[in-house]
Amino acid sequence: MSPLANHSFWKMNGAGNEIVVVDLRASTHVVTATEARAIAADERSRFDQMMVLHRPRTPGTRCYIRIYNTDGSEAGACGNGTRCVAWVLAEEDGAESFTVETVAGLLACRRVGPHAFSVDMGEPRFGWQDIPLAEEFRDTRAIELQIGPIDAPVLHSPSVVSMGNPHAVFWVDDPYAYDLPKIGPMLENHPIFPERANISLAAVKTRDHIVLWVWERGVGITRACGSAACAVLVSAARTKRTGRAATVSLPGGDLFVEWREDNHVIMTGPTELEHQGTFPPTLFATAA
Ligand SMILES: N[C@@H](CCC[C@H](N)C(=O)O)C(=O)O
Protein backbone atom coordinates (compact mmCIF):
# COMPACT_ATOMS: atom_id res chain seq x y z
CA MET A 1 0.00 0.00 0.00
CA SER A 2 1.28 3.47 -0.84
CA PRO A 3 2.32 5.62 2.16
CA LEU A 4 0.08 8.25 0.57
CA ALA A 5 -3.09 6.24 1.34
CA ASN A 6 -5.16 8.22 3.89
CA HIS A 7 -2.48 10.96 3.86
CA SER A 8 -3.78 14.53 4.16
CA PHE A 9 -3.50 17.21 1.49
CA TRP A 10 -4.43 20.85 0.95
CA LYS A 11 -6.28 21.71 -2.27
CA MET A 12 -5.41 25.33 -3.07
CA ASN A 13 -5.05 27.71 -5.97
CA GLY A 14 -2.65 30.52 -6.73
CA ALA A 15 -4.38 33.03 -9.03
CA GLY A 16 -6.40 30.09 -10.38
CA ASN A 17 -3.41 27.75 -10.89
CA GLU A 18 -4.66 24.50 -9.29
CA ILE A 19 -2.27 23.37 -6.57
CA VAL A 20 -2.20 20.39 -4.19
CA VAL A 21 0.19 20.59 -1.22
CA VAL A 22 1.31 17.38 0.53
CA ASP A 23 3.51 17.36 3.64
CA LEU A 24 5.93 14.40 3.63
CA ARG A 25 8.44 15.96 6.03
CA ALA A 26 7.86 13.07 8.45
CA SER A 27 8.38 10.44 5.75
CA THR A 28 11.13 9.30 3.39
CA HIS A 29 8.65 8.43 0.64
CA VAL A 30 9.28 10.00 -2.78
CA VAL A 31 6.07 10.30 -4.80
CA THR A 32 6.22 8.32 -8.04
CA ALA A 33 4.96 9.60 -11.39
CA THR A 34 2.22 6.96 -11.28
CA GLU A 35 1.05 8.14 -7.85
CA ALA A 36 1.10 11.77 -9.02
CA ARG A 37 -1.02 10.96 -12.06
CA ALA A 38 -3.51 9.03 -9.90
CA ILE A 39 -3.87 11.99 -7.51
CA ALA A 40 -4.28 14.45 -10.40
CA ALA A 41 -6.98 12.27 -11.97
CA ASP A 42 -9.19 12.41 -8.87
CA GLU A 43 -11.72 15.27 -8.84
CA ARG A 44 -11.07 16.22 -5.17
CA SER A 45 -7.30 16.39 -5.55
CA ARG A 46 -6.89 17.40 -9.17
CA PHE A 47 -3.94 19.69 -9.73
CA ASP A 48 -1.86 21.54 -12.27
CA GLN A 49 1.06 21.15 -9.83
CA MET A 50 1.47 19.10 -6.69
CA MET A 51 3.97 20.55 -4.21
CA VAL A 52 5.41 17.82 -1.98
CA LEU A 53 7.25 19.02 1.14
CA HIS A 54 10.25 16.97 2.28
CA ARG A 55 12.52 17.53 5.25
CA PRO A 56 15.03 20.38 4.68
CA ARG A 57 18.30 19.67 2.87
CA THR A 58 19.92 23.03 3.63
CA PRO A 59 20.23 24.46 7.15
CA GLY A 60 17.99 27.48 7.64
CA THR A 61 15.36 26.36 5.10
CA ARG A 62 11.87 25.16 6.08
CA CYS A 63 11.59 22.29 3.60
CA TYR A 64 12.73 20.82 0.30
CA ILE A 65 9.95 20.84 -2.30
CA ARG A 66 9.41 18.41 -5.17
CA ILE A 67 7.07 19.76 -7.86
CA TYR A 68 4.93 17.43 -9.99
CA ASN A 69 2.97 18.28 -13.14
CA THR A 70 -0.35 16.61 -14.04
CA ASP A 71 1.44 14.14 -16.33
CA GLY A 72 3.68 12.98 -13.46
CA SER A 73 6.80 14.83 -14.71
CA GLU A 74 8.80 16.95 -12.26
CA ALA A 75 9.37 20.69 -12.64
CA GLY A 76 12.18 22.90 -11.32
CA ALA A 77 9.98 25.88 -10.47
CA CYS A 78 6.37 26.75 -9.69
CA GLY A 79 5.73 30.28 -8.53
CA ASN A 80 2.03 29.92 -7.74
CA GLY A 81 2.63 26.63 -5.95
CA THR A 82 5.45 28.13 -3.90
CA ARG A 83 3.08 30.85 -2.65
CA CYS A 84 0.61 28.12 -1.64
CA VAL A 85 3.39 26.28 0.24
CA ALA A 86 4.28 29.60 1.89
CA TRP A 87 0.68 29.94 3.11
CA VAL A 88 0.76 26.43 4.62
CA LEU A 89 4.09 27.12 6.38
CA ALA A 90 2.98 30.55 7.60
CA GLU A 91 -0.23 29.06 9.04
CA GLU A 92 1.86 26.42 10.81
CA ASP A 93 3.80 28.76 13.10
CA GLY A 94 2.89 32.33 12.18
CA ALA A 95 6.26 33.07 10.55
CA GLU A 96 6.08 36.02 8.15
CA SER A 97 9.18 35.23 6.11
CA PHE A 98 11.26 32.10 5.52
CA THR A 99 13.19 30.21 2.87
CA VAL A 100 12.29 27.00 1.03
CA GLU A 101 14.33 24.96 -1.44
CA THR A 102 13.61 23.33 -4.81
CA VAL A 103 15.92 21.64 -7.28
CA ALA A 104 16.41 25.13 -8.79
CA GLY A 105 17.71 26.65 -5.52
CA LEU A 106 16.65 28.59 -2.44
CA LEU A 107 13.49 30.72 -2.59
CA ALA A 108 12.76 33.42 -0.01
CA CYS A 109 9.05 33.82 0.77
CA ARG A 110 7.37 36.74 2.52
CA ARG A 111 3.79 37.24 3.68
CA VAL A 112 2.40 40.53 2.35
CA GLY A 113 -1.25 40.01 3.31
CA PRO A 114 -3.56 37.40 4.87
CA HIS A 115 -3.67 35.50 1.58
CA ALA A 116 -0.86 37.14 -0.40
CA PHE A 117 2.83 36.26 -0.60
CA SER A 118 5.96 37.42 -2.40
CA VAL A 119 8.48 34.84 -3.60
CA ASP A 120 12.02 35.56 -4.70
CA MET A 121 12.11 33.39 -7.83
CA GLY A 122 15.87 33.74 -8.19
CA GLU A 123 17.83 34.88 -11.24
CA PRO A 124 16.76 34.34 -14.86
CA ARG A 125 19.18 32.42 -17.08
CA PHE A 126 19.60 33.12 -20.76
CA GLY A 127 22.36 30.72 -21.87
CA TRP A 128 21.10 28.28 -24.53
CA GLN A 129 22.42 25.31 -22.53
CA ASP A 130 20.73 26.62 -19.37
CA ILE A 131 17.23 26.91 -20.84
CA PRO A 132 17.95 24.39 -22.47
CA LEU A 133 17.81 24.72 -26.26
CA ALA A 134 18.93 21.98 -28.64
CA GLU A 135 21.39 24.26 -30.43
CA GLU A 136 23.30 27.45 -29.79
CA PHE A 137 21.55 30.80 -30.08
CA ARG A 138 23.78 33.71 -29.17
CA ASP A 139 20.84 36.08 -28.67
CA THR A 140 17.92 34.60 -26.77
CA ARG A 141 16.00 37.87 -26.96
CA ALA A 142 14.41 36.32 -30.09
CA ILE A 143 15.32 32.89 -31.39
CA GLU A 144 14.56 31.50 -34.85
CA LEU A 145 11.41 29.48 -34.45
CA GLN A 146 8.15 29.78 -36.30
CA ILE A 147 5.00 27.80 -36.88
CA GLY A 148 2.66 28.20 -39.84
CA PRO A 149 3.48 28.99 -43.48
CA ILE A 150 7.08 30.17 -44.04
CA ASP A 151 5.97 33.49 -45.57
CA ALA A 152 3.07 34.06 -43.16
CA PRO A 153 3.95 32.43 -39.81
CA VAL A 154 1.21 32.14 -37.20
CA LEU A 155 3.78 32.66 -34.43
CA HIS A 156 7.49 33.41 -34.64
CA SER A 157 10.65 34.70 -32.92
CA PRO A 158 10.03 33.85 -29.25
CA SER A 159 12.12 35.12 -26.37
CA VAL A 160 13.47 32.22 -24.31
CA VAL A 161 14.55 32.13 -20.69
CA SER A 162 14.91 29.75 -17.75
CA MET A 163 13.29 30.68 -14.45
CA GLY A 164 14.41 27.32 -13.05
CA ASN A 165 12.22 25.83 -15.81
CA PRO A 166 12.16 26.48 -19.57
CA HIS A 167 9.98 29.22 -21.05
CA ALA A 168 9.31 30.50 -24.58
CA VAL A 169 7.45 33.80 -24.95
CA PHE A 170 5.71 34.78 -28.19
CA TRP A 171 4.83 38.47 -28.49
CA VAL A 172 1.32 39.02 -29.88
CA ASP A 173 -1.39 41.71 -29.91
CA ASP A 174 -4.08 39.48 -28.37
CA PRO A 175 -3.15 36.15 -26.74
CA TYR A 176 -6.74 34.94 -26.87
CA ALA A 177 -6.93 35.37 -30.66
CA TYR A 178 -4.81 32.20 -31.03
CA ASP A 179 -5.79 28.54 -30.75
CA LEU A 180 -3.32 27.88 -27.91
CA PRO A 181 -4.84 24.47 -26.98
CA LYS A 182 -3.92 23.35 -30.51
CA ILE A 183 -0.63 25.22 -30.96
CA GLY A 184 0.64 24.69 -27.39
CA PRO A 185 1.47 20.97 -27.60
CA MET A 186 3.34 21.46 -30.90
CA LEU A 187 5.52 24.17 -29.40
CA GLU A 188 5.96 22.45 -26.02
CA ASN A 189 7.36 19.40 -27.83
CA HIS A 190 9.32 21.22 -30.56
CA PRO A 191 12.77 19.65 -31.07
CA ILE A 192 14.42 22.99 -30.24
CA PHE A 193 13.37 22.32 -26.59
CA PRO A 194 15.04 19.05 -25.52
CA GLU A 195 13.31 19.21 -22.10
CA ARG A 196 10.09 20.62 -23.59
CA ALA A 197 9.00 24.17 -22.64
CA ASN A 198 6.24 26.25 -21.13
CA ILE A 199 4.67 28.34 -23.91
CA SER A 200 3.46 31.91 -23.31
CA LEU A 201 1.47 34.22 -25.56
CA ALA A 202 2.03 37.73 -24.20
CA ALA A 203 0.59 41.11 -25.15
CA VAL A 204 2.28 44.24 -23.79
CA LYS A 205 -0.54 46.69 -23.08
CA THR A 206 1.51 49.46 -21.39
CA ARG A 207 5.01 49.81 -19.93
CA ASP A 208 3.70 48.19 -16.73
CA HIS A 209 0.89 45.89 -17.83
CA ILE A 210 1.10 42.61 -19.73
CA VAL A 211 -1.72 40.21 -20.67
CA LEU A 212 -0.65 36.56 -20.68
CA TRP A 213 -2.05 33.15 -21.67
CA VAL A 214 0.03 30.05 -20.95
CA TRP A 215 0.29 26.48 -22.18
CA GLU A 216 2.19 24.70 -19.39
CA ARG A 217 4.63 21.89 -19.98
CA GLY A 218 3.26 18.64 -18.61
CA VAL A 219 -0.15 20.16 -17.92
CA GLY A 220 -1.78 22.13 -20.77
CA ILE A 221 -3.78 25.34 -20.52
CA THR A 222 -3.79 26.75 -16.97
CA ARG A 223 -5.49 29.77 -15.42
CA ALA A 224 -2.12 31.14 -14.24
CA CYS A 225 1.59 30.31 -14.27
CA GLY A 226 3.86 32.27 -11.93
CA SER A 227 7.19 31.32 -13.46
CA ALA A 228 5.76 32.22 -16.90
CA ALA A 229 4.72 35.64 -15.56
CA CYS A 230 8.34 36.11 -14.38
CA ALA A 231 9.74 34.85 -17.71
CA VAL A 232 7.49 37.26 -19.62
CA LEU A 233 8.36 40.32 -17.48
CA VAL A 234 12.09 39.61 -17.73
CA SER A 235 11.85 39.08 -21.49
CA ALA A 236 9.73 42.23 -21.93
CA ALA A 237 12.16 44.36 -19.92
CA ARG A 238 15.16 42.85 -21.72
CA THR A 239 13.68 43.77 -25.10
CA LYS A 240 12.67 47.26 -23.85
CA ARG A 241 8.98 46.52 -24.24
CA THR A 242 8.37 47.39 -20.55
CA GLY A 243 10.21 48.62 -17.50
CA ARG A 244 11.47 46.21 -14.83
CA ALA A 245 8.15 45.86 -13.00
CA ALA A 246 4.68 45.08 -14.27
CA THR A 247 1.29 43.63 -13.46
CA VAL A 248 0.78 40.43 -15.44
CA SER A 249 -2.90 39.60 -16.05
CA LEU A 250 -3.76 35.93 -16.53
CA PRO A 251 -7.18 34.25 -16.86
CA GLY A 252 -7.15 33.46 -13.11
CA GLY A 253 -6.00 36.85 -11.86
CA ASP A 254 -3.14 39.30 -11.62
CA LEU A 255 0.46 38.74 -10.50
CA PHE A 256 2.91 41.55 -9.81
CA VAL A 257 6.47 40.87 -10.99
CA GLU A 258 9.60 42.93 -10.40
CA TRP A 259 13.07 42.22 -11.86
CA ARG A 260 15.27 43.87 -9.26
CA GLU A 261 18.61 45.51 -10.04
CA ASP A 262 20.34 42.66 -8.15
CA ASN A 263 18.97 40.37 -10.93
CA HIS A 264 16.45 38.61 -8.67
CA VAL A 265 12.84 38.30 -9.85
CA ILE A 266 10.18 38.88 -7.19
CA MET A 267 6.65 37.63 -7.82
CA THR A 268 3.70 38.66 -5.66
CA GLY A 269 0.18 37.26 -5.77
CA PRO A 270 -2.75 35.60 -4.01
CA THR A 271 -3.32 32.17 -2.52
CA GLU A 272 -6.63 30.49 -1.74
CA LEU A 273 -7.40 27.35 0.29
CA GLU A 274 -10.24 25.43 -1.40
CA HIS A 275 -10.47 22.41 0.90
CA GLN A 276 -8.45 19.87 2.85
CA GLY A 277 -8.81 16.12 2.45
CA THR A 278 -7.13 12.73 2.64
CA PHE A 279 -6.19 10.52 -0.31
CA PRO A 280 -8.51 7.49 -0.58
CA PRO A 281 -6.45 4.26 -0.55
CA THR A 282 -8.29 3.13 -3.70
CA LEU A 283 -6.41 5.85 -5.62
CA PHE A 284 -3.22 3.85 -5.22
CA ALA A 285 -4.62 0.37 -5.78
CA THR A 286 -2.63 0.11 -9.00
CA ALA A 287 -0.15 2.98 -8.51
CA ALA A 288 3.32 1.98 -7.35
N1 LIG B 1 2.41 26.76 -12.69
C2 LIG B 1 3.78 26.92 -12.38
C3 LIG B 1 4.80 26.36 -13.32
C4 LIG B 1 4.73 24.86 -13.34
C5 LIG B 1 5.86 24.09 -13.92
C6 LIG B 1 5.77 23.89 -15.39
N7 LIG B 1 4.58 23.23 -15.85
C8 LIG B 1 7.03 23.14 -15.85
O9 LIG B 1 6.97 21.93 -16.14
O10 LIG B 1 8.06 23.78 -15.92
C11 LIG B 1 4.13 28.29 -11.90
O12 LIG B 1 3.26 28.92 -11.27
O13 LIG B 1 5.27 28.72 -12.04
Please check the confidence at residue 148 and state whether its pLDDT lies above 60. yes
Please check the confidence at residue 1 and state whether its pLDDT lies above 90. no
Distance 198 CA to ligand 1 centre (A): 7
Q: Which residues belong to the annotated binding site for substrate? A: 17, 49, 69, 79-80, 165, 198, 216-217, 226-227
Burial classification of residue 19, based on how many CB atoms lie within 10 Å of its CB (0-12 exposed, 13-18 middle, 19 or more buried) = buried
In order of start, what are the domains of the chain with their CATH numbers?
7-121+271-284 (3.10.310.10), 128-262 (3.10.310.10)
**91 pLDDT tier (thresholds 50, 70, 90):** very high
Please check the confidence at residue 287 and state whether its pLDDT lies above 70. no
Amino acid letter, residue 10: W
Regarding the beta carbon of 49 and ligand 1, being less than 6 Å apart is answered yes
Convert the pLDDT of each residue in 202-215 to its tens digit: 999 999 999 999 99
How far is residue 229's CA from residue 17's CA, in Å, rounded to a whole number?
Answer: 12
Q: What average pLDDT does the segment 185-209 reach? A: 98
**24 pLDDT tier (thresholds 50, 70, 90):** very high
Regarding the beta carbon of 165 and ligand 1, being less than 6 Å apart is answered yes
**Paired residues of 65 in beta bridges:** 53
Helix (H, G, I), strand (E, B) or coil at 42: coil
Regarding the beta carbon of 200 and ligand 1, being less than 6 Å apart is answered no
Please check the confidence at residue 288 and state whether its pLDDT lies above 60. no
Residues with active-site annotation: 78, 225
Protein residue with least CA distance to atom 1, ligand 1: 225
Q: What average pLDDT does the segment 122-146 reach? A: 97
pTM of the entire predicted model: 0.97
Q: What average pLDDT does the segment 16-25 reach? A: 98
Convert the pLDDT of each residue in 36-65 to its tens digit: 999 999 999 999 999 999 999 999 999 999
Regarding the beta carbon of 70 and ligand 1, being less than 6 Å apart is answered no
Protein residue with least CA distance to atom 11, ligand 1: 78
Give which of 122, 130, 164, 161 is closest to 265, Cα–Cα.
Answer: 122
Regarding the beta carbon of 16 and ligand 1, being less than 6 Å apart is answered no
Convert the pLDDT of each residue in 92-128 to its tens digit: 999 999 999 999 999 999 999 999 999 999 999 999 9
Supply the mean pLDDT for the chain: 97
Distance 151 CA to ligand 1 centre (A): 33
Distance 75 CA to ligand 1 centre (A): 6
Given a contact cutoff of 8 angstroms between Cβ atoms, the answer to whether 201 and 54 are in contact is no
How far is residue 68's CA from residue 218's CA, in Å, rounded to a whole number?
Answer: 9
Ligand 1 atom, smallest distance to 214 CA: 1
Q: What average pLDDT does the segment 13-35 reach? A: 98
Using a pLDDT cut of 70, give the percent of the chain over it.
99
Q: What's the Cα-to-Cα distance from 239 to each of 36, 127, 139, 140, 281, rounded to whole Å? A: 38, 16, 11, 10, 51
Helix spans in the chain (H): 33-41, 79-93, 180-188, 226-238
Using a pLDDT cut of 90, give the percent of the chain over it.
97
Please check the confidence at residue 83 and state whether its pLDDT lies above 70. yes
Cα angle vertex 107, ends 84, 159, to 5°?
95
Q: What are phi and psi of 37, to 5 degrees?
A: -65, -35
Burial 105-136 (b: 16+ CB within 10 A, else e): eebbbbbeeeebbbbbbbbbbbebeebbbeee
Q: What average pLDDT does the segment 185-201 reach? A: 98
How far is residue 217's CA from residue 70's CA, in Å, rounded to a whole number?
Answer: 9
**262 pLDDT tier (thresholds 50, 70, 90):** very high
Which pLDDT value is given to residue 285? 86
Amino acid letter, residue 188: E
Q: What average pLDDT does the segment 120-146 reach? A: 97
Q: Is the dihedral of CA 200, 206, 208, 211 positive or negative?
A: negative
